[in-house]
Structure 1
Amino acid sequence: MTAKKPQITTAGADPRLAGGRLTIDLDALAANWLFLAKKSKPAETSAVVKADAYGLGIVHVVPALWQAGCRTFFVALAEEGLRVKAVAPDARVLVLNGFFAEAFETYGQSDLIPVLGSIHELDLWKSLNARRKDKLPFALHVDTGMNRLGLSLTEALAFAADMRDQKPVLLMTHLATADEQAHALNLKQIESFQKLRGAFAGIESSIANSPGIFHARIGEYELSRPGVAMYGGEPLSSAANPMRRVVTLEARVVQIRTGLKGETVGYGATTTLERDTRIAVCSAGYADGYLRSASGSGVPLRAAVPNGGVGFVAGSKVPIIGRVTMDLTSFDITDLPVDTVSPGDFIELFGHNIALDDAARAAGTIGYELLTSLGNRYHRRYLKSESN
């Protein structure tokens, strides 16, 4: 049986004018979500689509996940929640980053659910909700070891003893070290959350982020919340990545030039050429989310991590040479056969041949930051199989 060609939806910059392109495989995204949903059973699986779906676009990502079966979505901000509702009106959408009084009317009109994480927010929500006949739902975030958002364990237990008309629809916490499965804090947080679940009996609970889904006790909770793993990022720091690649980033070659032995390259003259060197200068830089810390030289990170980022072109990996600048990045293509790379060609920055997280490590960061930093100057291609 011949495989159907994927449909291609485009967005962003005109491909004739753009300096780079992003290819987002929505089939791989959906497959990753289904894999995580199967692993999460018997828990329901939601999807974290904050930061514009990790930089890939809520308007494209949410419909693909909805079609795959996802019905609950998490965002950071109410504004993001409205964008989810615009493309998935029947979705349950929870807003993570706190609650402010001036947003209450929006929650009432849009069916968004705030995740409340302090006594102040609970009191504020209760006072505003008291004016309504139909009380609006809320979720409760409890801090079990992250020391970020959330009620303390003591505050949450006291609240549970006197819930009355303020019963949350969801109880949640966030794991701080789930990507390190052996870390002692995981067990401590799970045990604390178990105490909470007893006090909040009958209320849906959620603890597992992407790496948390791979923890043996995930099945004890009713809702998992995958984020980066859906988008192809590594869920665990100590195991091979089981997720399918979703995003490929490529930059166009602007110019091929030759630098002579003894000359320097780029800002700061941080690289002195040890041989005559063919250089491919590409139209992507830190203004496009390709981080300056990935530079081949001249950045503090190189003292700790000797090798900078690499690109992939003409069947080979090629190193960044000099500093990544605002709009341009240079690669050493000397070891490639002459005339195999030309202006207008594309060099892969991460994707099929360079893993997202490998590119991130070369820049001293994580895949999350690379994805959410992607700029708006790329031409974007969204690939999806034809509907049956």
Structure 2
Amino acid sequence: MTQPTFPPVEAPLRLILDGAALVDNWRWLHDRGGGAACGAAVKADGYGIGAGNVVRRLHRAGCRDFFVATWAEAVALGHPGDGASLSVLHGVRPADMATAVASHARPTLNSAGMVARWKAAAPARPCDVMIDTGMNRLGLTPAEAVSGLLDGLAIDTLMSHLACADTPESPMNLVQRNAFAQVAAQVPARRYSLANSAGICLGTDFAFDLTRPGLGLYGGEPGPAAAGRIRQVVRIEAEVLQVRSVEAGQTIGYGATFTAQASTRAAILNLGYADGYLRGFAGRGSARAGSDRFALAGRVSMDLIAVDIGAADIGEGDWLEVDYRLPEAAIRSGLSQYELLTGLGTRYQRHWTE
């Protein structure tokens, strides 16, 4: 049976992605690192906005070090470009070995078992090594790192990860920095790397040879030093599916949590928690048309929200921007800036601007 051919259909939901802001953020983070090289974490499909597009823009700007979480992400991304490298942060499981040995990407070895597997398969191939300096997540202990376990490896980047960098006053930041420096003094590697976006904001003592920003690239403010310096990269726009007249005393949405205090109008937008716009925005979120701002009315549904537009000149087919600047959206919703980014779903059109 012949399948009918349909014209392309554009979703009534889109992300406006600012490539110039992405590059500006990378440059600001690069400059904060002093003389350190500045890489880019592009795991989780570039924190939800598209790893390939992120890598292409940052590579043109001069970024040469990229980081993904898994080998599936490495394969999906492909080679990041001339002179650039790719590191797989979650290491190399037995099931990953064939891919890892054939790949241009480096594994980040996180355990003695991973070290043994890599030594047996490709000891001359460059690898990265993660040291756990107090986070108790992935990584070798400092004692394992200096025990001779790593002898014979061609270590490109020895790295660790800060647990409390977004809290600059935390004493753990200096504890981890000093612990890493002690290991780095005893383990030969081409480069040493500690700071993520928030770590970069702690100062150049944390930069070492290479920084690995993530959140700050995409418009998140990773610490007080970044306030007002990081540009918004991701904007959400949703189409108005219907405009409804709501009389005083009528309710909107599941649970009837919103009651109109006076006659008004509600715009129903094609956006909901299936798209990563989660229920925490109920009673706190907003949308706008130009300088006019409209509050959410009622709960966030799976794929619909309502906003109270009053007498504004808005009709079906119009597009509203949903307020989504990460620092403010995190405060309003109770969600982390990371969740707000990586939870964005697949139903958006994605439009890049330069």
Structure 1 length normalisation: TM-score?
Answer: 0.84
C-alpha deviations, 1:344-366, integer Å up to 9, x for none?
Answer: 1122113xxx5222123222112
The amino acid of 1:100's aligned partner reads R
Find the aligned partners of 1:202 and 1:117 in 2 and give their Cα distance.
15
Percent identity between the aligned chains? 39
The amino acid of 1:138's aligned partner reads C
- Secondary structure (helix, strand or coil) at the match of 1:199 reads coil
Contact 2:88 2:107 in 1 (8 A): yes
- The Cα shift of 1:97 comes to 1.4
Runs of 4+ in 1 over 6 A off after TM superposition: none
Q: CA RMSD in A?
A: 2.0
Contact 1:233 1:241 in 2 (8 A): no
Contact 1:314 1:340 in 2 (8 A): no
Which of 182, 195, 220 is equivalent to 1:233?
220
- The Cα shift of 1:219 comes to 6.1
* 2:97 equivalent to 1:94: no
The aligned residue for residue 318 of structure 1 is: 294
Q: CA 1:216 to 1:314, structure 2 compared with 1: closer, same or farther past 3 Å?
A: closer
- The Cα shift of 1:237 comes to 4.9
Contact 1:310 1:359 in 2 (8 A): no
Structure 2 portions without partners, runs of 5+: 1-6
C-alpha deviations, 1:200-239, integer Å up to 9, x for none?
Answer: 1454110000011111244650000011111111121576
- Secondary structure (helix, strand or coil) at the match of 2:150 reads coil
* 2:270 equivalent to 1:270: no
Contact 2:272 2:305 in 1 (8 A): yes
- Secondary structure (helix, strand or coil) at the match of 1:59 reads helix
Q: Return the structure number with greater relative CO, CA threshold 8 A, min gap 6.
A: 1
The aligned residue for residue 48 of structure 1 is: 41
Aligned counterparts, 1:105-144, within 5 A? 105-129=98-122, 135-144=124-133
Contact 1:43 1:224 in 2 (8 A): yes
Q: CA 1:127 to 1:239, structure 2 compared with 1: closer, same or farther past 3 Å?
A: closer
Which of 46, 57, 73 is equivalent to 1:64?
57
* 2:167 equivalent to 1:154: no
- Secondary structure (helix, strand or coil) at the match of 1:311 reads strand
Aligned counterparts, 1:1-388, within 5 A? 17-86=10-79, 88=81, 90-129=83-122, 135-158=124-147, 161-218=148-205, 221-237=208-224, 240-296=227-283, 308-334=284-310, 338-350=311-323, 355-384=325-354
Q: How many residues align?
A: 348
C-alpha deviations, 1:275-332, integer Å up to 9, x for none?
Answer: 2232111011111111122112xxxxxxxxxxx2111224222111111111101111
Structure 1 portions without partners, runs of 5+: 1-13, 297-307
Stretch of structure 1 that moved more, 284-293 or 231-240:
231-240
Structure 2 length normalisation: TM-score?
Answer: 0.92
Q: CA 1:115 to 1:247, structure 2 compared with 1: closer, same or farther past 3 Å?
A: same
The amino acid of 1:198's aligned partner reads A
